[in-house]
Each structure stands twice: as C-alpha cells, then as structure tokens.
Amino acid sequence: MLPIVELKGNAFERGRAHGSQARSRVERSLANYAGLFAFAGLAWDEALRRARGFRDVIGGFDGTLLQEIEGIAVGAGRAVDEILALNVRTEILPPSYLAGDTGECTAIAVAATASATGGTLLAQNWDWIGAQRDSLVVLRVPPGDLPGHLTLTEAGMLAKIGLNGAGFGVCLNILRSVHDNGKPGMPVHVLLRALLGCAGVAEAVALASRLAFGGSSNILCADRGGRAASLEFSPRGLRVLRGDGATLCHTNHFLHADTQGWQAELATNLSSEPRLECARRHASARARHGIADLERLLRDESAGLLSICRHPDPELPPQLRVETVASVIMELERGVMHLAPDIPSRCDYRPVALSGEAAHA
C-alpha cells in the first residue's frame, strides 16, 4: 500500500507535514519531472521560471493554498518554485510532449440508483509515466473550516483523485485543446484541491465557472446525492456534461457539443476513444454496479497496450511509457477509497477510510 500522510493544523503546517513526511518521494517526483521536461525540450530552469508565473494566480484565488505549497517546500527542504512547478506541471508541459499517446485515465461515476452498494460510486484508472508510481502518496486531512478529505496524489502536489467528508469526490482526465497556451490560469491540481472543499456537484460547478484556465482538463465529479458532472475546460472556458441518473464516463477528449473545434488532433494511436467506448459498453451491460463490477472494468485488458488497464510499451522510451500507475474506486457516502497501488490486474484493491479507521470492503 502507498504511504498515508496525515496532515493537521493550518495550511502552512499541513504543507510542512506533507513535505517532511514524504520528503524522499517529493525528491523523486522533482527528479522525474526534471527529466521529463528535459525530454520534452524544456530546461528545468525554464520550467521553474514559467511556474513562477502561476504564483499570483494561486495566491489571488486562495492564499491558503499558496501557503500550503510554501509549507511543502519548507518541509521537503526545497525551493518554493520547485513545488510550484510540480503543482502546475500539466499547464507548463510542452503540448508537443502530450501530442502522442500520453493522454491518461479512464473515469466513471455511478449514481446511487445504479449502484449495487446503494451509494454513489466514483472510479478511475490513473495512467501516467510508470516512474511516478514511486512518488505517490495518500494525503488524509481532518475536518476544520472545510470538510476533511482523502486524496491520492503525487508527492509535493496539493491533490488529485479524492473524496471529502461531505460525500463529494473528484477524478481527473487530462485534455488537450488547440487553445492551450501555457499562460497563467487556474492550475488543475490546485483546482482539484479547492474542489475538495465543496459540499457537492452544484457548488463545484459554481466555483469552476468563475475561473480562467491556461490549459485543458476534465474533472469528473459526483456527490452522495447521486449527482455527477464532467467539468471540461480549456482557455476558451468551461462546459459541463451532466450525468443521466445512471453512469457518466470520460477519458481524454472533449465530449460536450459546444467544444467542437477545441480538441487538439488525436494521434492515430491515442486510446482515448476506444477506452471510452469500452467503459460505456461496460456501464450499459448491467442495471447496477458494485465494487467488484468496477474492478472488472478497471482491469480490462481487451485492447492490449491500449486497454483501460494499461501496461507499458517496452518499445517506447521510458519518458513515454504510459501505464496504469494506480486505480481508485470511491464510495462517497462511506468516505472510503478502494486503492490499487499498481496496474490493477496485478494487485488487490485495499480500502482506505477518510475517518482513519480500518475500512472493510
């Protein structure tokens, strides 16, 4: 199982605890991204310079999030610009790097009415560069002014996939549009951390609707009331796809009708469209979905190296070997995350509870 980092106190104290407890993983994450940026033709010094441009955006949105980033830097003994670069890595990675089959992630939301557990489910395979698996952590934050939350993320980053004590959860699909420009806008990983303070889908949509973005992504979110939405955004704005009361699936291309012309050209080997079709077939094959049903979907290997459950292609350089680094199934009502810390077809899912108590599948 991945390390669980307990964060308490104010924003700076939480960040410092994150940086100190996960210091070796923060260092590994920085080394991996320095190498990845170099492979993509962007020197690390230039990446840090670009990251600094996002500091005022983050601080102007919520100063406590910037304080948490500063705390991570202190705890890990690193420069603040380095931790900023981790948190804005999606926005500053050169678009040319992501033009190939480096799109990531298959996500699905299951409304309570279509759930065998009786509660809303939210699940995702996170596909990324395999070297980053050893940089992953689970952050657990107790309630304070906002609901407590549990998030699987990369060490040094505020959040990624997660749920909170209000029964709300988020997943992430990276998108690429022709309008991505790398100019400072709300970074998606900072937004994910902010959304984990929301009470439900309606509040999340309202928050995201007020923002401007420098890159593109989709956040699939759901709440214990059964509502689900895909928040697709680019520098052109935000578009929202609503769930139909049963399931809502997303991969790595725009789906909303109003986003025609936004999508950057998909490489011929990009697996986003077939993965979406596979997820939808699975979703429509039964009236109700339980934990085991979602495990089967996330372990699907029917399309070989381009399956929902992705194995690395040994013929590619390490910087392009996309694989499923972790897999998550969240029970939003119970506040439980079932986590597979590897390619899910070769490991078990283990429950982790937001409460910190032992969870039982």
State pLDDT tens for residues 138-178.
999 999 888 999 999 999 999 999 999 999 999 999 999 99
| Per-residue confidence band for 255, with pLDDT thresholds at 50, 70 and 90 | very high
3-class SS shares of the chain: helix, strand, coil, % to 5:
35, 25, 40
* pLDDT of 33 over the 70 cut: yes
C-beta of residue 289 within 8 angstroms of C-beta of residue 121: yes
Regarding beta strands 168-174 and 322-331, do their DSSP bridges make them parallel or antiparallel, or are they unpaired?
Answer: unpaired
What share of the chain in percent tops pLDDT 90?
87
Mean pLDDT of 20-32: 98
C-beta of residue 32 within 8 angstroms of C-beta of residue 131: yes
State pLDDT tens for residues 174-221.
999 999 977 899 999 999 999 999 999 999 999 999 999 989 999 999
State pLDDT tens for residues 268-301.
557 899 999 999 999 999 999 999 999 999 999 9
Mean pLDDT of 231-258: 94
CA distances from 89 to 52, 120, 223, 349, 358 (A): 12, 31, 28, 28, 34
Regarding beta strands 149-154 and 161-164, do their DSSP bridges make them parallel or antiparallel, or are they unpaired?
Answer: antiparallel
* pLDDT of 36 over the 50 cut: yes
> Where are the chain's structural domains?
101-353
pTM of the model: 0.96
Q: For domain 101-353, give the CATH superfamily.
A: Penicillin V Acylase; Chain A (3.60.60.10)
Mean pLDDT of 329-347: 98
